[in-house]
Each structure stands twice: as C-alpha cells, then as structure tokens.
C-alpha cells in the first residue's frame, strides 16, 4: 500500500497527537482506492461506513435532492482533503453524492477498522474521533464565515 506524503493536510489532521505506534496502526488500516472520472465514492442515503482522504485527483460533493437543484456542486475536494467524517461521526446516511471529477486516488478508513482500533486501543480511538470532529468543526467555521461574507 502506498504511504501518503507526510504533508497531506487531511491525514495530518486525522493523525494529530498520535505516537509512532498509533500512526502505524492507523496507516495499516488505510485502504487505497482508484476511481475513474465520473465514478461514485458514495451516493446520498448510503450508510456511512468510511472516511476518505483524497491523495490524487479531485472529488466533488454533489446534491441529488433536497433544497438544492440536482447536480449542484457543494464542494470540489483536492488532494489533502479528508471527507465523509460527518456521517461517520453522527451515524447518519450520506447527505450527498461524492463523485470523482478526474481519475482519483483515495485512502479509505472504514468504520469497522475505526471501531476495532478504538476497542483495542481506547486512547487511540478517542483521539481519532476527536481529530475527525475537530477537522469537521474547522470546515464548518470556514463555511460559516464564507456564507456570512456572501450574505453581506
């Protein structure tokens, strides 16, 4: 399995505060994925079973129903972006589609692996979930500031 570059922001956010042994435990559970352009990572309503990191290429988060017209792009995610953590944290289904814009390489950490890591190493589990929550909160603050700025 390829090891992600250490400068990749999303993986650094996920691994923040972990010692070398815990980092090795998490990296051993990362599953590489290669997607063709137009291929779905997940669809709205799917069970949230994984967190993803964009390593190469681009992935868009796209509306399929709800308040936005179908096909509305909420975000375009570039290398270094962690995504899918919100639904994993709250146990809900996926709120939108995630689609590869280009050929893309991702790293996937599935929820089963997260649970197993947390059971075997409770402190590691606490840090991983806290890091995902912190990353999500940071993105929410950025989105809120952008929305407030656009609203005038």
Structure token pair of residue 38 = 């137009």
| All structural domains of the chain with their residue ranges | 9-141
**pTM value > 0.95:** no
d(CA 23, CA 16): 9
What 3-state class would DSSP assign to 36?
Answer: coil
DSSP one-letter string for 107-130 = EEEEHHHHHHHHHH-HHHHHHHHH
* pLDDT one-digit tens code per residue, 110-133: 999 999 999 999 999 999 999 999
Fold designation for 9-141: Jelly Rolls (2.60.120)
d(CA 109, CA 102): 21
Enumerate residue ranges in the chain where pLDDT < 70.
1-8, 66, 69, 152
């Amino acid at each position: 399995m390829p090891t992600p570059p250490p400068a990749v922001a999303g993986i650094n956010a996920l691994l923040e505060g972990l010692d070398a042994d815990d980092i090795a435990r998490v990296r051993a559970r990362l599953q590489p994925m290669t997607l063709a352009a137009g291929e779905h990572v997940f669809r709205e309503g799917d069970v949230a079973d994984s967190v993803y990191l964009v390593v190469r290429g681009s992935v868009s988060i796209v509306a399929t129903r709800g308040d936005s017209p179908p096909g509305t792009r909420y975000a375009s995610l570039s290398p270094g972006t962690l995504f899918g953590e919100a639904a994993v944290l709250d146990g809900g289904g996926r709120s939108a589609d995630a689609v590869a814009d280009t050929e893309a390489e991702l790293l996937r950490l599935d929820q089963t692996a997260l649970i197993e890591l947390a059971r075997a190493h409770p402190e590691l589990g606490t840090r991983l979930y806290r890091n995902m929550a912190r990353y999500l909160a940071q993105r929410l603050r950025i989105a809120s500031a952008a929305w407030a700025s656009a609203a005038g």
